Amino acid sequence: MAPCVFGIGQEKEIGGDLESNLALIDRWQGRADGRLRFFLGPHSPYICPPAFLTRVAELAQARKLGIHLHVAESQEQVEKSLREYGRTPVEHLQELGVLDAPGGCIAAHCLVVSDPDLDILAHHRVTVAHAPVTYMKLAMGVNNLARFLAKGVEVAIGTDGPASNGDLDMLMSLRQTAVLQKHRQADPEAASGDLVLRMASQAGARAAGFADSGRLSTGSAADIALIDMDRPHLIPRHDLVANVVYCAKAGDVTDLMVDGRWLYRRGELLTLDEEKIKAEAEQRALQLVGRSMHQVRQYQG
């Protein structure tokens, strides 16, 4: 978890400020037998002031934390950084010490990065979070991941948030990563299924600080998702990896085990009240939209 902070004034924070997030981390970091992990979450170098990012970097060093933020999402952001700081967003973050967070650094998107930027990301062992559905939904374009991999940059697949991707189906993100990379590189053999599967499992686990997760092997954490391979769209079963990457959907997952504990069994949530959560989510969403519309009317008036 990386609660987002802007660092541009208390009245502009969408949740808690940096201090309240630090208190949250102090309370919950490492709980649930180590399954709760927190990163510091400054939004981005195009919103957060340099002094704020420097402070975040210093806190990460002092508390041995990781940092998650958005980086180089558009050409406009890169040009803004060059005008204001004389450096690309990646170079700017390197200068401020953000990329050296001892708990690791996750740079979301990195859609507009140069080869020298990629060298910097590789040198600091930064993981790039790739969210292909968002890039299509918001018409942002898509980067050529072959460039990243050739430079030794670790890439992990993500869904992004519900404001940018209406369906947080991780299996859809696998499929779209593979298909988009083939299209982007004009090569049907680009982004093989096993590569994409590792990006979504092992790479993501390492980036989040769970080095023992993301693979099925002796001594690894018992994090297991079971998929019903008898679904019509998953037959024939001649290549299980291809079936998972190109055909499987979130609804095909029948069971989920986390660290040896069943959380979802035969299609039923065991630890959460699904109906209560859905009802409350619906109510809160309508309240949020109502408040937003009221604020718009006040502004227009």
Print pLDDT tens along the chain (301 aa): 999 999 998 888 887 899 999 999 999 999 999 999 999 999 999 999 999 999 999 999 999 999 999 999 999 999 999 999 999 999 999 999 999 999 999 999 999 999 999 999 999 999 999 999 999 999 999 999 999 999 999 999 999 998 899 889 999 999 999 999 999 999 999 999 999 999 999 999 999 999 889 999 999 999 999 999 999 999 999 999 999 999 999 999 999 999 999 999 999 999 999 999 999 999 998 988 887 776 666 656 6
Residue 109 lies inside a defined structural domain of this protein:
yes
Total number of domains constituting the chain: 1
CATH number of the domain residue 29 falls in: 3.20.20.140
Residue 292 lies inside a defined structural domain of this protein:
no
Report, in this order, helix, strand and coil percent for the chain, each rounded to 5: 45, 15, 40
Residue 260 lies inside a defined structural domain of this protein:
no
**How far, in Å, CA of 87 to CA of 274, rounded?**
48
Q: Are strands 224-227 and 39-42 parallel, antiparallel or unpaired?
A: unpaired
Residue 78 lies inside a defined structural domain of this protein:
yes
Tell me the CB-side half-sphere exposure of residue 107, using CA atoms within 13 A: 31
**How far, in Å, CA of 150 to CA of 148, rounded?**
5
Residue 204 lies inside a defined structural domain of this protein:
yes
What is the dihedral sign for C-alpha 53, 55, 58, 60? negative
Residue 65 lies inside a defined structural domain of this protein:
yes
Structural domain boundaries, residue 87: 4-218
**How far, in Å, CA of 124 to CA of 67, rounded?**
13
Residue 157 lies inside a defined structural domain of this protein:
yes
Is there a contact between 100 and 59 (Cβ–Cβ < 8 Å)? Answer: no
Residue 286 lies inside a defined structural domain of this protein:
no
Helices 89-96 and 75-85 cross at an angle (nearest 10°) of 50
Amino acid at 45: P
Among candidate residues 185, 182, 187, 195, the one with its CA nearest the CA of residue 244: 195
The pair of structure tokens assigned to 264 is 């979802």
